[in-house]
A and B are shown apart, each in its own frame.
Chain A
Amino acid sequence: MFTYAILRLQYLLPLNPQHLGPLSPDLAFNTAVSFTTNTNWQNYGGESTMSYFSQMVALALHNFASAAVGIGLAAALVRGIARHSAKTLGNFWVDLVRVTYYLLLPICLVFAVFLVSQGMIQNFKPYTQATTVEGATQTIVQGPMASQVAIKMLGTNGGGYVNANAAHPFENPTPLSNFIQMLSIFSIGSGLTYWLGRMTKNQAHGWSVWTAMMILFLAGVLTCWWAESAGNPIHHQLGVAAADGNMEGKEVRFGVFNSALFATITTDASCGAVNSMHDSFTPLGGFVPLFNIQLGEIIFGGVGAGLYGMLVFVILAVFIAGLMVGRTPEYLGKKIGAFDVKMAMLSLLVLCLSILGFAAWAAVSEWGKAGLNNAGPHGLSEMLYAFSSATGNNGSAFAGLSGNTPWYNTTLGIAMLIGRFWMIIPIMALAGSLAQKKVAPASVGTFPVHGGTFVILLLGTILLVGALNFLPALALGPIVEHFQMLQGKLF
């Protein structure tokens, strides 16, 4: 609500050298929700709509807070797993403050200074007017960018300072900054698996979860890279193909591999920062980011959110496997009962309902189709991507979709709220239920939640339970499009 007010009233507030006007009500709603839920979907253009004050106070606050909330929730779930016969999961406010002050702020400070050293801007100047060599006038963006970008990446927020996000030269000046930004997206999500191991006193388990994430990540990067490098056969036929694959919509400074890598990372984690236009990827190249989000962004994932999403799959995997070894399923000594299964499945159901439900509505409504830039299967991919991204709190866009319409602003906003808060309710219920349970000591009859078999089992569960649901819809989108591209038909 506070954010909504700032966005609406930004023209009255200080630090607005460009004198940008207020946001429309639906856009302000969308943006406020977007940042609160760690989605950071951008229907606004950073430089053309947001004043410095809005960027710094309204958005940066949420960048920190939503990241800290995510970590706090994951912490609660992990404590639920680690504790036994307990009544509490820890104090949320304590977690929030600790995470912000001890983890996010110090890293961001260092990170921001580093980004400035790489040439990123950090000032309060009005935008600069420059005259280009052709004689045209160009407005060059200025502002406190480095400090915003640091938390955007670290907190897997992904809301770019400028509309072009990390493809903009100021927002991602050098290959090194590109690499460090990618690393920072994964750092907390990845680190949390180690923390999971520490808390549950089973470091091998933490590493196993990490390994499963890593395998999915590598598979994604390789597929995406392969699809993008292979490029578009039509270009090859016409003899206009770039030597290194499909370069459409990519920043030449980064090239195919860095773009594919960035796209995979940003969708594995729920970051949503982009350094290339996913819309212009080849169908299979675009399929990877879409698929990553639909898995629930559990591959390292958004800070905290990735871990708790992954743990839902861990619990389901353990349940099925536990039955297979002939014992009441136990996760780290805790018996998984009907309630836990119900909550875990509920969170999957919410994801599925929001993505497929809204996308289906969009597919048959005039409002939904109005926003499309591309026809045919590609348009379907765009809609699917938009609602996947919103529900998954990712925030990256296929960009072909004109999201800034009242209908999209509202539905995407609702999808984001569902994706964040309706997911949180069953997960917190799960954490509470696990915390109360007694721990049964391990014996030879208990199967270990680490090692190769467990990783395979976990991957199998993720793909069979989590991913198959989206296959029919995906078949109509990127898969059909891929085959059509091979036949020489484009959208």
Chain B
Amino acid sequence: MTPKAPSLFDLKIVGPAIGESFKKLDPRLMVKNPVMFVTMIGATLTSFAVFNTPNDRSFIAQLAVWLWFTVLFANFAEAVAEGRGKAQADSLRKARKDTVARRLRNGTEERVPAPELQKGDTVVCEAGDVIPADGEVIEGIASVDEAAITGESAPVIRESGGDRSAVTGGTRVISDRIVIRVTMEKGHGFLDRMISMVEGAKRQKTPNEIALTILLSALTIIFLLVCVTLKPFGIYSGVDFSLPVLIALLVCLIPTTIGGLLSAIGISGIDRLIRRNVMATSGRAVEAAGDVDVLLLDKTGTITLGNRMASAFLPAPGVQAERLGDAAQLASLADETPEGRSIVVLAKENFNLRGRDVAQPHAKFVPFTAQTRMSGVDFPANGGVARSIRKGAVDSMRTYVDGLGGQFPEPVVKTVDEVSRSGGTPLVVVEGREVLGVVQLKDMVKGGMKERFAHLRKMGIKTVMITGDNPLTAAAIAAEAGVDDFMAQATPEAKLKRIREEQAAGHLVAMTGDGTNDAPALAQADVGVAMNTGTQAAREAGNMVDLDSNPTKLIEIVEIGKQLLMTRGSLTTFSIANDIAKYFAIIPAMLMVTFPVIAPLNIMRLTSPQSAILSAIIFNALIIIALIPLALRGVTYKPIGALAILQRNLLIYGLGGVIVPFMGIKAIDVVITTLKLI
């Protein structure tokens, strides 16, 4: 699925969102957001004041209307964010058609509706069947179309045993037959969790969101106090502040901008994550991702391609490299392992040796067996054996050559050692009893890894490679991939210990992995990203699942986490900084009638006290709408260091927050005056 967001104000989303904004006026829902709740109470009181006050009715009515708009705009922001998630949930729901499962019980098959399946049941799926529930393949191998959840049309292989055994309910088997043990009951499956996540139904406030809400609530209480005490001060000074005016001042001062957009920011964060095909089980994990500073990566399949590949031909003294390549290619033509195929490819690339027609009836392939621990090919000449090529590990080849009465040359032994030391695997090639040389097999580092790790370093994240290899090999690969640190000969216990140590040192640890042996570490890590191709155990243990199974997706996850916090921080700064301009609009307006001398404070030269107050309130409402796109998109994150980011955001949202409202309020005042609304 491409990370393409629907247009910001898609009619399909905006339409229902407008309806939702009114539904959300329910006080029981509003009370969860103290800032907007206070605004709503203010709007209600002002509405009553319209009927109770004999004069200035038009002014108070307009004030009331805009106060209601402020509340509605905030609700609208939340509804739009939810709407975007809902659109996605609907497409997911289509995948969750209730199917009929073929349950195996005591060896016989019976058909039951999928919702009746229990944890531990076994079901059969054949080509064309929809997998009825999340589970683990316990028998067979099949290609599965997971487009329903990943959006990727290419089918994936799922087989019993190993690291590719997990299947997801709602996906479809394309070929073959598998037996699945159900691991999740209906309603708690992967797809269900995904739907509830995007819909925001189970959204809980994250720790930083809670802290920010407290800050905003406390500010609201303080400003409430300011406005309440202003009344007696006014009485003393002989100024009668009317209730609507005090409410207007209060609503302008309390941080409505951030208060109104806070939940929209949170929802859109999760939404953005899902657009990148990452499923988070909690918003907390997304937020934690922004703080991650140590990343543990499983080597195999993550940093490297996971298969050893031929990388060089190292001929014995006196042997042409091309002859070695030719022999190695011939010996590998029938070898269907990735290693065998890579030798064929390397010979083709290095010596332009095309794959020859080896299907000739005379060629006889010798497959790898546990006893001989070598493979090769024999070309029978008329009557005898013309060419006999073998390849294998150094020990078995030495025995083989010795057995034929040949000599194992010393320089080849040296080459073998060197290859081992550099992190590769040596494969000795012999023709007849002559040792031709060594094929160096190496675990290939995936393309672009170095740049990705450099990017992570710039973000302040240390990368640690985890591998079961010996330290020598591990060091060589670590250097090639450009990770900061590595951990060799890692057992599940060692991984867990490492994570605990990093955490004790105050780090926040992220871990990516796919195997069952990664599960404990994934569970212990603050952010555990399991690959969708991984085992069910791994997917259960982590708090995020990457549907694309791309380990460096973590970069994007971290960026989204950071964006989430940055957007909140920037809008809070903006919101608080706005107060300065609003003071300059409202305070002179409130005092002008009694103390005309204060006129110089009206630095914006607003037309009249009433237009000043109304302009400030209108600005306050409109700014929420204006900032919805930013809240949904998030503030851009660049890995340029914390200080540079702070300076940039402080300039844009701090200084901008001081200046923008001056211009905005003045502009609105001009419009109001021109339209003669006051």
- 4 A-B pairs with the lowest CB-CB distances in the bound complex, closest first: A323-B569, A326-B562, A445-B460, A345-B218
A476/B506 in contact, CB under 8 A:
no
Taking the complex as formed, is B626 at the interface, i.e. its CB lies under 8 A from any CB of chain A? no
B226/A356 in contact, CB under 8 A:
yes
Contact of B232 among A364, A443, A453 (CB under 8 A): A364
Among listed B331-339, B340-348, B635-643, interface-contacting one? B635-643
Taking the complex as formed, is B600 at the interface, i.e. its CB lies under 8 A from any CB of chain A? yes
- State in angstroms the CA–CA spacing of A322 and B507 once bound together: 17
If A359-B229, A473-B229, A486-B597 touch, whether A444 touches B576 (CB-CB below 8 Å) is no
Contact of B565 among A327, A357, A447, A489 (CB under 8 A): A327
A434-480 contacts to B, CB under 8 A, are 438-441, 443-448, 451, 453, 456-457, 460, 464-465, 468-473, 475-476, 479-480
A215-247: CB near B (< 8 Å → 1, else 0) gives 000000000000000000000000000000000
Given A469-B225, A473-B230; 19 other pairs, CB 8 A cutoff: A321-B569, A321-B646, A323-B566, A326-B563, A337-B211, A338-B214, A340-B211, A346-B218, A352-B226, A360-B232, A361-B232, A363-B236, A440-B293, A441-B507, A443-B462, A444-B458, A460-B650, A472-B587, A475-B591
**Residue among B221, B505, B508, B595 having the largest count of chain A Cβ atoms under 10 Å:** B595
A447/B642 in contact, CB under 8 A:
yes
A345/B215 in contact, CB under 8 A:
yes
A323/B591 in contact, CB under 8 A:
no
Chain A residues near B647 (CB, 8 Å)? 453
A380/B236 in contact, CB under 8 A:
yes
- State in angstroms the CA–CA spacing of A487 and B595 once bound together: 11
Tier of interface size on chain A: 35 or more
Taking the complex as formed, is A94 at the interface, i.e. its CB lies under 8 A from any CB of chain B? no
Number of interface residues of B (CB under 8 A): 76
B506/A479 in contact, CB under 8 A:
no
B642/A327 in contact, CB under 8 A:
yes
B233/A359 in contact, CB under 8 A:
yes
B581-619: CB near A (< 8 Å → 1, else 0) gives 001000100010001011011000000000000000000
A328/B287 in contact, CB under 8 A:
yes
Taking the complex as formed, is B83 at the interface, i.e. its CB lies under 8 A from any CB of chain A? no
Chain B residues near A447 (CB, 8 Å)? 642-643, 645-646
B587/A471 in contact, CB under 8 A:
yes
A173-230 contacts to B, CB under 8 A, are none
Chain B residues near A364 (CB, 8 Å)? 232, 235-236
Chain B residues near A348 (CB, 8 Å)? 218, 222
Taking the complex as formed, is B365 at the interface, i.e. its CB lies under 8 A from any CB of chain A? no
- State in angstroms the CA–CA spacing of A443 and B642 once bound together: 9
A324-336: CB near B (< 8 Å → 1, else 0) gives 1111110001001
A404-460 contacts to B, CB under 8 A, are 438-441, 443-448, 451, 453, 456-457, 460
A326/B232 in contact, CB under 8 A:
no
A324/B237 in contact, CB under 8 A:
no
- State in angstroms the CA–CA spacing of A384 and B587 once bound together: 18
Please give me the residue from chain B that is nearest to A352 by CB atom. B222
Taking the complex as formed, is B75 at the interface, i.e. its CB lies under 8 A from any CB of chain A? no
Q: What's the nearest-Cβ distance from chain A to residue B302, in Å?
A: 22
Hey, which bits of chain A sit against chain B, CB under 8 A?
A: 316, 319-329, 333, 336-338, 340-342, 345-346, 348-349, 352-353, 356-357, 359-361, 363-364, 369, 376-377, 379-380, 438-441, 443-448, 451, 453, 456-457, 460, 464-465, 468-473, 475-476, 479-480, 483-484, 486-487, 489
Q: What's the nearest-Cβ distance from chain A to residue B281, in Å?
A: 19
B286-330 contacts to A, CB under 8 A, are 287, 290-291, 293
B528-571: CB near A (< 8 Å → 1, else 0) gives 00000000000000000000000000000000011111101110
**Residue among B291, B462, B562 having the largest count of chain A Cβ atoms under 10 Å:** B291
**Residue among A319, A320, A357, A471 having the largest count of chain B Cβ atoms under 10 Å:** A320
B565/A326 in contact, CB under 8 A:
yes
Q: What's the nearest-Cβ distance from chain B to residue A103, in Å?
A: 34
B258-295: CB near A (< 8 Å → 1, else 0) gives 00000000000000000000000000000100110100
- State in angstroms the CA–CA spacing of A471 and B290 once bound together: 37
- State in angstroms the CA–CA spacing of A483 and B597 once bound together: 6
A468/B579 in contact, CB under 8 A:
yes
Taking the complex as formed, is B207 at the interface, i.e. its CB lies under 8 A from any CB of chain A? yes
Q: What's the nearest-Cβ distance from chain B to residue A374, in Å?
A: 12
Residue contacts A-B, CB under 8 angstroms, 29 given: A323-B565, A325-B569, A325-B646, A325-B649, A326-B290, A326-B563, A328-B287, A342-B218, A345-B215, A345-B219, A349-B221, A360-B233, A363-B232, A363-B235, A443-B293, A444-B641, A445-B461, A460-B654, A464-B577, A464-B580, A468-B583, A475-B587, A476-B236, A476-B591, A479-B598, A480-B591, A483-B595, A483-B597, A489-B597
Q: What's the nearest-Cβ distance from chain A to residue B190, in Å?
A: 29
Please give me the residue from chain A that is nearest to B236 by CB atom. A363
**Residue among A329, A473, A475 having the largest count of chain B Cβ atoms under 10 Å:** A475
Chain B residues near A341 (CB, 8 Å)? 211-212, 214-215, 218
Q: What's the nearest-Cβ distance from chain A to residue B226, in Å?
A: 5
Taking the complex as formed, is B210 at the interface, i.e. its CB lies under 8 A from any CB of chain A? yes
A323/B568 in contact, CB under 8 A:
yes
Q: What's the nearest-Cβ distance from chain A to residue B220, in Å?
A: 10
- State in angstroms the CA–CA spacing of A364 and B229 once bound together: 10
Please give me the residue from chain B that is nearest to A377 by CB atom. B237
- State in angstroms the CA–CA spacing of A43 and B439 once bound together: 97
Chain A residues near B507 (CB, 8 Å)? 440-441
B502-517: CB near A (< 8 Å → 1, else 0) gives 0011111000000000
A324/B597 in contact, CB under 8 A:
no
- State in angstroms the CA–CA spacing of A359 and B223 once bound together: 16
- State in angstroms the CA–CA spacing of A480 and B236 once bound together: 13
Q: What's the nearest-Cβ distance from chain A to residue B620, in Å?
A: 15
Q: What's the nearest-Cβ distance from chain A to residue B240, in Å?
A: 13
Chain B residues near A483 (CB, 8 Å)? 595, 597-598, 600-601
B634-678: CB near A (< 8 Å → 1, else 0) gives 000100011101110110011000000000000000000000000
Q: What's the nearest-Cβ distance from chain B to residue A243, in Å?
A: 28
Taking the complex as formed, is B149 at the interface, i.e. its CB lies under 8 A from any CB of chain A? no
Q: What's the nearest-Cβ distance from chain B to residue A398, in Å?
A: 16
If A363-B233, A465-B576, A487-B597 touch, whether A338 touches B207 (CB-CB below 8 Å) is yes
- State in angstroms the CA–CA spacing of A360 and B224 once bound together: 14
Taking the complex as formed, is B239 at the interface, i.e. its CB lies under 8 A from any CB of chain A? yes
Q: What's the nearest-Cβ distance from chain B to residue A444, in Å?
A: 4
Contact of A476 among B237, B562, B563, B597 (CB under 8 A): B237
- State in angstroms the CA–CA spacing of A464 and B577 once bound together: 7
If A323-B565, A440-B506 touch, whether A484 touches B211 (CB-CB below 8 Å) is no
B232/A464 in contact, CB under 8 A:
no
Contact of A473 among B226, B249, B569, B649 (CB under 8 A): B226
Q: What's the nearest-Cβ distance from chain B to residue A357, in Å?
A: 6
- State in angstroms the CA–CA spacing of A460 and B234 once bound together: 29
Please give me the residue from chain B that is nearest to A333 by CB atom. B506
Contact of B566 among A325, A356, A441 (CB under 8 A): A325
B65-102 contacts to A, CB under 8 A, are none
Taking the complex as formed, is B470 at the interface, i.e. its CB lies under 8 A from any CB of chain A? no
B573/A324 in contact, CB under 8 A:
yes
- State in angstroms the CA–CA spacing of A230 and B570 once bound together: 41
- State in angstroms the CA–CA spacing of A295 and B458 once bound together: 39
A438/B207 in contact, CB under 8 A:
no
B290/A438 in contact, CB under 8 A:
no
Taking the complex as formed, is B459 at the interface, i.e. its CB lies under 8 A from any CB of chain A? yes
Chain A residues near B561 (CB, 8 Å)? 326
Taking the complex as formed, is B208 at the interface, i.e. its CB lies under 8 A from any CB of chain A? yes
Chain A residues near B569 (CB, 8 Å)? 320-326
- State in angstroms the CA–CA spacing of A472 and B221 once bound together: 15
Chain B residues near A327 (CB, 8 Å)? 290-291, 562, 565, 642
- State in angstroms the CA–CA spacing of A470 and B239 once bound together: 18
